[in-house]
Amino acid sequence: MVQVSLKDGSVKEFEAGISVLDVAKSISEGLARSIVAASVNGETVGLDYKINEDADLNLFKFEDAEGRDVFSHTSAHILAQALKRLYPEVKLAIGPSIENGFYYDIDLDHRLVPEDLEKIEAEMKKIAKEDLAIERFELPRDEAIKMMQEQGEDYKVELITDLPEGEVISFYKQGDFTDLCRGPHLQSTKKVKAVKLLNVAGAYWRGDEKNKMLQRIYGISFEKNKDLEAYLHFIEEAKKRDHRKIGKELDLFMIPDEGIGFPLFLPRGMELKNELMKYWREVHKRYGYVEIETPIILNRHLWETSGHWFHYKENMYTLKIDEEDYAIKPMNCPGVFIYYKHKPHSYRDFPMRVGEVGRVHRHELSGALHGLMRVRAFTQDDAHIFMLPEQIKDEIKGVVSLIDEIYSTFGFEYHLELSTRPEDSMGTDEEWATAEDGLREALEELKLPYVLNEGDGAFYGPKIDFHLKDCIGRTWQCGTIQLDMQLPQRFDATYIGEDGEKHRPVMIHRVALGSIERFIGILIENYAGKFPVWISPVQVKVLPISEKYNDYARQVEKVLYDRGIRVEVDDRAETTGFKIREAQLEKVPYMIVVGEKEVADGSISVRSRDDGELGNVKLEDFIAKVEAKIQSRENVVFED
């Protein structure tokens, strides 16, 4: 008999050799129908897995990450089988599951086009309806190689040949199709009822540009068609919100050919960025931070002390000055130790909260660059807090409160993840226990739920990550709080304690927005360019109905400008309707139309982006309304 411990804490006893599926059936037939995978003692397995010893068992549905992974992996095999049926000459490379679906790399002389993807999709759906059983088997290395050679699968032969001695070589068979795979998989093809092949891209075999370029087919799959339709709608919505497209339409930024990966912010984009940083500084001053600016270029000695020269150099831009090696900083934290050590400190100086809006540069591969989301030069809203061990909990609570305030201002929901000590780590057990307890207790006292990621902390300390959710459900990892036990030692940072002796401070690294450029990209996509009034690059457009009223429009503009409102006049020789449509496309919060009546009354006619026509009002009343929205930093209702 074996003892099986379930996720709810219950323990059941079964005959040894019982399958995961039969355990599920013993609980509920409905549960057995809904699960797609499981984990036994932390290892993800298929439903046919036999339990032969006492075990912890988790059952996964499609909605669970582990379940989706197995579902997508099986979908990749169905794609490969469909390809083999339609193009018998195709050679298969690899077909993993990925965060959003799956892909398969193939070697095929015929260049696939959208019409081909439709045919392959239809064949995949046919395979799903055939309800083919999926069976696992293993072969010795020689037999595995021989079988793949007979099938003409050169890439599989290479994969098997490169496996280390003693590695189990397993295959999965469904109908007349067999593929090399570690698994696990679904029990049959029938669950993959809804599938969509998204696109084809090029990919070098094993990611090496010296190897042959293969075709990579991306796909997504679901249990139900309604879920697929919802996902495709999500994809279309995401395309409409693409920050690169909207950034160009609203004239916010560009990525020049002369500097690929180095964003150039245009005047309107700078208005947005400056307003964001004005808010950042206001919040940080209120929370007791000082602000510094460390040099962008620092010498090799600093980067050797921090460890970056030996462990991060391939991502750094280096240069020589006066025959000495220097590097452009890829992060701000080493520079803050120059500030810390420029004078001695005592325990009375703590906590020291030091902020820096620092420009950093990292060498990213060109293929990884993506608008403002992945660049080679960006601005980090860094802060470093030096403190006593007994201050950890209160400081963590303060940082969480600050980041919560910032995210709430933009209407973002978020969840927290706490990552603890990894196997490869620096520091003593006592230091780690103190650090982890400080983070955990702070979250619990704040009554904030969190996901625990055991062993996923940085090698120098545990961390809390903030994953914010935008208005169409995407999550973005932005804020981070990391406890560091290594850099204070490497830089020999000390303070004089109450006992008159030298001690080492505890250090927190933290960011709220992360990369300012990336956060702006997130805001563009979240609001679809329809920014709240307070952060909108242009808050008001003044539209004279003809050139006769341009002087009055300029008078209105000056009054607004003098009150700190970002305003533009559109005095082009175009119709009023055309100007209004242009301002709407630019998503300007307010449009002021002026003509004969407004000049005679000394008034303005106002149209709101969000509320429609507001009618004829006094300029001072309008200014008071706009100023109230700016001062309150009122958020907008997200577009559907």
Active site residues: 333, 362, 380, 382, 384, 463, 509
Sign of CA pseudo-dihedral 175, 178, 184, 189: negative
- The candidate with the shortest Cα–Cα distance to 397, out of 467, 445, 353, is 445
- The candidate with the shortest Cα–Cα distance to 541, out of 581, 573, 575, is 581
Q: To the nearest 10°, the Cα dihedral for 421, 507, 309, 264?
A: 110
Structure tokens at 553: 């429009």
- Residue 70 CB contacts under 8 Å (≥ 6 apart), including other chains: 36, 37, 44, 46, 60, 97, 184, 185, 186
* Residue 441 backbone dihedrals phi, psi, to 5 degrees: -65, -35
How far is residue 13's CA from residue 23's CA, in Å, rounded to a whole number?
A: 10
CA contacts within 13 A on the Cβ side of 50: 6
How far is residue 83's CA from residue 77's CA, in Å, rounded to a whole number?
A: 10
In terms of DSSP bridges, do strands 194-204 and 502-503 run parallel, antiparallel, or are they unpaired? unpaired
Kindly state the greatest CA–CA separation across the chain. Answer: 94
How many Cβ atoms sit within 10 Å of the Cβ of residue 486? 17
CA contacts within 13 A on the Cβ side of 501: 3
- The candidate with the shortest Cα–Cα distance to 631, out of 556, 539, 501, 544, is 539
- Residue 301 CB contacts under 8 Å (≥ 6 apart), including other chains: none
In DSSP notation, 157-207 reads HHHHHTSPTT---EEEEETTEEEE------SBGGG--EEEEEEEEEEEGGG
Give the ranges where 61-113 is alpha helix by DSSP (H). 65-86
In DSSP notation, 417-437 reads EEE---SS--S-HHHHHHHHH
3-state secondary structure 480-517: EEEEECCHHHHCCCCEECCCCCEECCEEEEEEEEEEHH
In DSSP notation, 576-613 reads HHHHHHHHHHTT-SEEEEE-HHHHHHTEEEEEETTTEE
Would you mind telling me the total number of residues written for the chain in this entry?
Answer: 640
How far is residue 350's CA from residue 354's CA, in Å, rounded to a whole number?
A: 11
CB 104 within 8 A of CB 76: yes
How far is residue 452's CA from residue 429's CA, in Å, rounded to a whole number?
A: 19
